[in-house]
Structure 1
Amino acid sequence: MSSTRKAAAAAATALPDGPRPRPGGDGAGSSGTYSVLDFLTDGENDAAGRQLVQLFSGYLYTPVAVAIVELGILGRLAGKALTPEDIAKDAGTDPDATGRLLRAGMAVGLLSGDEDGRFRLSAAGERLGPDAGRLGEMAVLWLEPIREAMVGLAEHVRSGQQVDPAAPGGFWDYLGSHPGEAVKFARAMGYATSRLPAALDAAGYRPPAASRVVDVGGNRGTMLAWLLKALPDAAGVIFDRAEAMATAPDFLGAAGVQHRTELVPGSFFNEVPEGDLHLLSRVLHNWDDKSVRRIVANCAKAGSRGGSLVVVEYVLPAVPEPAAGHLMDVMMMVLYGGRERTLEQHRALIEPCGYALREEYPVGAVDGGQPPLRVLEFVRT
């Protein structure tokens, strides 16, 4: 790691001088939870000051939460109260360092403690536990290469060097050599997609008619399951890396569509299974323009004239505005060498491969805000 990254990593884990965590508390936001807002003086404690101090507080909070998740502490505390020594013995960690981490876990609202020196999960901690469901799965998104890439953001902006996620040591190489982490990542991606079907229903979106739907890079098949329910006479295919589909059988079985679905391992850079509807749900933003053309061309080759290509992405606004897609764009840049794109940029890449834009559907609006996602429906020409 470079000196710049080491300095940033150190800043991420060092507590500054000043107010210390207050004891007690049962979750983030309670009166017992440490708050970076304690650093604000009366003259600074306005909306802009609070926004700025919270903006930089992630370097304090996130590493603590990630360490607690990675070390399996949440699972060890499920339904019980333990001392640092108990946890350290079971987890194979240093007792003193474990105790310090647990106290930091209290400060960020994941744990609570008692006068006997035992710790238990707070209400927030229970939401991240092993039986908590989707939020617990999302917590494992911050794998080591993702953290490393984001810490190096300023360095990347200085150099502008293109990231190759398929290169030795790249993100896909990491997942290939860490199958356990690959399964965790697949689950996190499944959670990230889990709200999309409800958002599509809320937006009134209905997919184009099809008899064979191919979910390209489909992970566990969240979107495919929704499509097959909307198209009751269609068969489905999930096409992805084998490790990415590890949780697909259970998910598809629970959704009641496993008997209509085939799992096909492979690389979309080589070929794509035939079908009359190909889905690319948050796949293209992982890749540079040249790779996108190759993926889409393979879909076109496997598609039929009049068939459909459905693309789901964070489509960037034509005029810059504070949209979530711009944050995703930065992550794509440093992790994959990919990018988020405007509608016109999508069309410029996809239409020369043999498609024409048929319709654009905004989805995912929350509390009256701008919808962060778009469904781009293309027809095979």
Structure 2
Amino acid sequence: MSIDQSDADRANAFFLLDEVLQFFWPAALRAAAELRVADHLADGPLPVQDLAKAVGADPRNLYRALRLLATRGVFAEDAEGRIALTPKADPLRSDAPNSVRSGVIMVTDAMFWSTSGAITDSVREGGPVFERIFGVPFFEYFATDPATVALFHEGMASYSDSENLPVARALPLAGGTRLVEIGGGHGHLLRTVLREHPGVHGVLFDRPHVVAEHGLGELGDDTRWETAEGDFFDKVPAGDAYLMKRVLHDWSDDECVEILSRCRDAMHPGGRIYAVDTVIPEGNAYDHGKVLDVLLMVAFTGRERTAAEFATLFDRAGLTVERVIPTDSVMSVVEGSRA
């Protein structure tokens, strides 16, 4: 028995079959990043043979990977058959002002690649699959491999660096504010905030081995900042305002309430909390946060949240969401105060 298909039916079927092959796009992007293809094209186009020799690759297979990337404007083949850098490929350069090379390599690393392949288990069971695959929870996994620690922090920095200036400019900080950045990593965001708000004093708070690698010295004025070491589930430094970027999305609701509660306990009267994350909009439209949310689903206990879900977290921690401040990036600032 044959089943007649309309043109629309066939088009929809092909759409799904084509979509399922799209994971080869980030795979090819990873190859280009690892081989530093963009670095070797910074001075101009190269024949594939010369480019392959420079990066240590097979000419034919290198061409095939780059030909796929070129379909989205990442690299291009010119009329003479040479491979050229394009504006969309330029951020893959290691020395580009907004280099994302480390971010591309991080997101396509086995810690995310392998977990994404087990997404059905995460959907079925309701939790991350990272520990089952790697033997320990995500953040404990770092302790087993220093190279992975470096990869994660470099990758996150490449994501965050393009967001930091818009976030810093969106923060409504008054002069004289003692601002504590919770889980601030190497201090890239705090450094940007202090440059944009000259009257603010910053405190970088994170684990000892993370704070040890901070870059706040680049400010050139060590009277405007200090570092503090500890565990944000235990106790945080006193301050007028608390800033946390891409922190709450790593943790479950109960864990987020613990973090927010520690900030509430330590904040000075009239204090504020600024939680910087993607805020998921209602409806079916594409949103960058919806993609990140699925990544988090398979690897972490956390998730991206809607404005209403942030309000619930803050309320449970004895805080009130005052407003959600958009930025000129994919991030928003959820501002809260003591209830």
Identify the TM-score tier after normalising by the shorter chain: 0.7 to 0.9
The reply to whether residue 142 of structure 1 matches residue 107 of structure 2 is: yes
1:306 and 1:380 in contact (8 A); partners too: yes
Identity, in percent, stands at 26
Q: CA deviation at 1:164?
A: 6.8
TM-score by length of 1: 0.69
The reply to whether residue 375 of structure 1 matches residue 333 of structure 2 is: yes
Corresponding residue to 2:304 among 340, 349, 352: 340
Q: Which deviations, in whole Å up to 9, do the C-alpha atoms of 1:219-251 show, x marking residues without a partner? A: 34344245435643331011224565577416x
Match of 1:322 in 2: 285
1:197 and 1:226 in contact (8 A); partners too: no
Match of 1:152 in 2: 118
Q: Which deviations, in whole Å up to 9, do the C-alpha atoms of 1:25-78 show, x marking residues without a partner? A: xxxxxxxxxxxxxxxxxx57x997997677445323210111221233433454
Correspondences of 1:300-315 after superposition (within 5 Å): 300-315=264-279
Q: CA deviation at 1:288?
A: 0.5
Could you tell me how far apart the structure 1 residues matched to 2:258 and 2:26 are? 37
Secondary structure, in 3 states, of the residue corresponding to 1:108? Answer: helix
Could you tell me how far apart the structure 2 residues matched to 1:71 and 1:227 are? 34
1:140 and 1:188 in contact (8 A); partners too: no
Match of 1:33 in 2: none
Secondary structure, in 3 states, of the residue corresponding to 1:305? Answer: strand
Could you tell me how far apart the structure 2 residues matched to 1:268 and 1:61 are? 38
Correspondences of 1:195-344 after superposition (within 5 Å): 196-197=166-167, 200=170, 206-207=172-173, 211-229=177-195, 231-241=197-207, 244=210, 248-249=214-215, 253=218, 259-317=223-281, 319-322=282-285, 324=287, 325-344=289-308
Task: Give RMSD over aligned pairs.
Answer: 3.9
Secondary structure, in 3 states, of the residue corresponding to 1:58? Answer: coil
Secondary structure, in 3 states, of the residue corresponding to 1:337? Answer: coil
Match of 2:324 in 1: 361
CA separation of 1:160 and 1:276: change in aligned 2, threshold 3 A: same
Match of 1:180 in 2: 150
Match of 2:65 in 1: 104
Q: CA deviation at 1:197?
A: 2.8
CA separation of 1:228 and 1:127: change in aligned 2, threshold 3 A: closer
Match of 1:40 in 2: none
2:92 and 2:99 in contact (8 A); partners too: yes
Could you tell me how far apart the structure 2 residues matched to 1:287 and 1:129 are? 32
Match of 2:3 in 1: none
CA separation of 1:265 and 1:74: change in aligned 2, threshold 3 A: farther
Could you tell me how far apart the structure 2 residues matched to 1:351 and 1:322 are? 28
Structure 2: runs of 5+ lacking an equivalent? 1-6
TM-score by length of 2: 0.76
CA separation of 1:229 and 1:114: change in aligned 2, threshold 3 A: closer
2:169 and 2:196 in contact (8 A); partners too: no
